[in-house]
Amino acid sequence: MVEVSPSIISSDLSHLADEVLKCEEAGAGSFHLDVMDGHFVNNITMGPDLIRSIRKSTDLRLDAHLMIDRPDKYYKSFIDAGADVLLIHYESPVNTMELIKRLEHDNIRYGIVINPETEFEKVKVFLDNAEILLIMSVNPGFSGQKFIGDSLIKVSEAREFIKRNNLKARIEIDGGINDETGKLAVNAGADILVSASFIFKNGIYNPIKKLRDL
Ligand code: DX5
Ligand code: ZN
């Protein structure tokens, strides 16, 4: 079954624990935490403290999507707050291989993220021990944007590469996902669907069910 990972930033944060519970009841498989620092993207969202609150409300896996300039400087604080997997952008202005080595040394689970303009080719070298390859289907920064169809080509390419090389990385897609675009992504080979507006603007339960059943 497809794993659905609701992006918590679009939930009703004044009722965070309830929103998390509703997602669990609908069958969410993990939670997606969009961390933005106002430098890497033109928006500011949550930091470790909010993640700590979410951690208290769920045992599901928490993926921290780090849209920040200095993941090398801050990664530990997200783990300490309770994140399980760190999603690291290839485009962050740090040495990706060095950062990965540090994460592996510290036994921290991670995934690699690529923006719409980044070719899949660029990140093949980082996938040996990655748990997730996150393919962005919008330019990061805001929820509610339109799905970029070309990202599906990358999903197929990645599916093929992961299969051929017997890698464990699961393919995740993030941005503009609803029941239609989600179906296209699953058909192209995606394992995990991130969604914010589609889920939280449509009452949580039905949209999560629809995405799971794709
Ligand atoms: C975009 C974030 C996404 C976003 C998804 O920068 O990484 O996770 O919240 O929002 P929707 O599903 O509304 O496109
Ligand atoms: Zn995200």
Among candidate residues 12, 34, 49, 63, the one labeled active-site is 34
User: Is 142:38 a contact under the CB 8 Å cutoff?
Assistant: no
- Is the CB of 158 inside a 6 Å radius of any atom of ligand 1? no
Longest CA span, the chain: 46
- Domains of the chain, first to last: 3-212 (3.20.20.70)
Q: Please compute, for residue 15, the number of CA atoms within 13 A of its CA located in the half-sphere on the CB side.
A: 8
- Return the ligand 1 atom nearest residue 144 CA: 13
Q: What is the pLDDT along the chain (214 residues), one digit of tens a residue?
A: 899 999 999 999 999 999 999 999 999 999 999 999 999 999 999 999 999 999 999 999 999 999 999 999 999 999 999 999 999 999 999 999 999 999 999 999 999 999 999 999 999 999 999 999 999 999 999 999 999 999 999 999 999 999 999 999 999 999 999 999 999 999 999 999 999 999 999 999 999 999 999 9
Amino acid at 60: L
- Ligand 2 centre from 76 Cα, in Å? 19
Count Cβ neighbours within 10 Å for each residue of 172-208 and write b for 16 or more, e otherwise: bbbbbbbbebbbbbbebbbbbbbbbbbbbeeebeebb
- Is the CB of 140 inside a 6 Å radius of any atom of ligand 1? yes
Report the pLDDT value the prediction gives residue 78, as an integer from 0 to 100. Answer: 98
Is residue 34 part of the annotated active site? The answer reads: yes
Q: Where are the beta strands (DSSP E) in the chain?
A: 3-6, 30-36, 61-67, 85-89, 109-114, 132-136, 170-174, 192-195
Instruction: Round to whole Å and give the CA distance between 19 and 23.
Output: 6
Residues 6+ apart with CB under 8 A from 114: 89, 90, 91, 120, 122, 123, 133, 134, 135, 136, 154
**Which-ligand-closest: CA of 177?**
1
Q: How many CB atoms lie within 10 A of CB 59?
A: 7
pLDDT, tens digit (0-9, with 9 covering 90-100), for 39-72 = 999 999 999 999 999 999 999 999 999 999 999 9
Report the pLDDT value the prediction gives residue 159, as an integer from 0 to 100. Answer: 98
Percent of the chain at pLDDT > 90 equals: 100
Instruction: Round to whole Å and give the CA distance between 98 and 86.
Output: 15
Among candidate residues 69, 84, 128, 174, the one labeled active-site is 174
User: Is 180:192 a contact under the CB 8 Å cutoff?
Assistant: no
User: Is 199:23 a contact under the CB 8 Å cutoff?
Assistant: yes
